Every structure is written in structure tokens, then in C-alpha cells.
């Protein structure tokens, strides 16, 4: 597996086809348009960071635009249909796959769900995702129950 470089892949607009809800947060660090964001592991109120799938807390959604540290950022939340980025440039995914925040250097990207707690769940792919590519996903709350878990 090779991680994608977020600075080169997050040059697209998140291009949502449907926004179910948006929320206004404060960027705890630099956020790029289209990155999956989450609360910091330390739980700073109303502050989100690009999700790393390891030390960040619950996933909030996908950034609709870029933001510098301390700036406001609009986040697309559960029920939204939006592009997400594959964090692995060797793995492909299929429509219907559940994706979680990638636990890699590719901050704000997704990978196939492996976390049985669904703590880092982002959503369900609506189409196939190429290695290192992007695809539309239906964003779901992180506590979505899947496969009897």
C-alpha cells in the first residue's frame, strides 16, 4: 500500500450531489476541501481536524471548502452525498463498501472499513472507487450498525 499525498489529490471541489445538513466548525489545523474531518482526540469544542483514523475522535463529515487554522469551515454531515478520496493508491473499492477514515499519512482520506466499533466510519460508497481515486459516498453517522456488529 502506498498513501496518496493529500496536497495533490485534494485539488477538486467536493462536488456534493446532495447536502442533507451542514454545520459550522472551527479548523483546528489546516483543512483542504474534500477532507474527512473529525474532532481532535482531546475533544476541543467545535473544532475539527483532518481525520487520521487513529488519534482523532469521532468523524464529523467532509469539508466543503478549505480553511486555515482558526477559520470557520462548513462541514457536510450525515445523509449528504459527496466525493471522498481513496487514501491508498493500490486498493480499489466497490459500490456498497463501507468506508472509514484512512489510518495513514493520507489525512482526510478513506479506506475499506476494518474498525469493528465503526468509530471512524465515514459512509457507504455509491459507486466503485479506483486506487488513489475518488468516488461518491453517502455519509453515515459513525455509529451505523453494519454486518451484525
pLDDT tens sequence across 79-127: 999 999 998 888 999 999 999 988 877 788 888 887 766 678 899 999 9
Domain membership flag for residue 124: yes
Domain membership flag for residue 25: yes
Whether residue 1 is predicted with pLDDT greater than 80 in this model: the reply is no
Domain membership flag for residue 149: no
* CA-based end-to-end distance of the chain: 27
Domain membership flag for residue 8: no
Domain membership flag for residue 66: yes
Query: When comparing pLDDT for 57 and 131, which is higher?
Result: 131
pTM over 0.85: yes
Q: What is the pLDDT of residues 26-82, one digit of tens each?
A: 999 999 999 999 988 787 899 999 988 777 888 899 999 999 999 999 999 999 999
User: Which cell numbers hold the place of 69?
Assistant: 487554522
Q: Residue 20: give the domain boundaries.
A: 14-139
Closest CA to 48 of 65, 69, 78: 69
| Sequence-separated (6 or more) residues with CB below 8 Å from residue 39 | 47, 48, 49, 56, 57, 58, 60
C-alpha 135/C-alpha 129 separation (Å) is 5
| Sequence-separated (6 or more) residues with CB below 8 Å from residue 97 | 112, 113, 124, 125, 129
C-alpha 140/C-alpha 144 separation (Å) is 7
pLDDT grade for 137, boundaries at 50, 70 and 90: very high
Range with the lowest mean pLDDT among 5-9, 14-18, 62-66?
5-9
pLDDT value at residue 109: 84
pLDDT value at residue 147: 53
Q: Is residue 122 within 8 Å of 137, Cβ to Cβ?
A: yes
Amino acid at each position: 500500500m502506498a498513501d496518496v499525498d493529500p496536497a495533490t489529490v485534494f485539488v477538486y471541489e467536493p462536488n456534493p450531489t446532495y447536502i442533507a445538513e451542514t454545520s459550522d466548525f472551527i479548523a483546528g489545523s489546516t483543512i483542504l476541501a474534500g477532507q474527512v474531518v473529525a474532532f481532535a482526540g482531546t475533544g476541543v469544542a467545535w473544532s475539527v481536524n483532518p481525520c487520521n483514523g487513529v488519534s482523532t475522535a469521532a468523524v464529523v463529515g467532509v469539508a466543503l471548502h478549505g480553511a486555515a487554522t482558526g477559520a470557520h469551515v462548513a462541514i457536510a454531515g450525515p445523509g449528504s452525498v459527496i466525493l471522498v478520496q481513496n487514501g491508498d493508491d493500490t486498493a480499489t473499492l466497490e459500490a456498497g463498501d463501507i468506508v472509514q477514515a484512512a489510518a495513514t499519512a493520507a489525512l482526510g482520506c478513506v479506506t475499506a472499513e476494518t474498525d469493528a466499533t465503526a468509530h471512524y466510519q465515514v459512509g457507504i460508497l455509491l459507486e466503485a472507487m479506483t486506487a488513489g481515486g475518488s468516488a461518491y459516498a453517502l455519509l453515515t453517522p459513525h455509529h451505523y450498525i453494519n454486518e451484525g456488529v
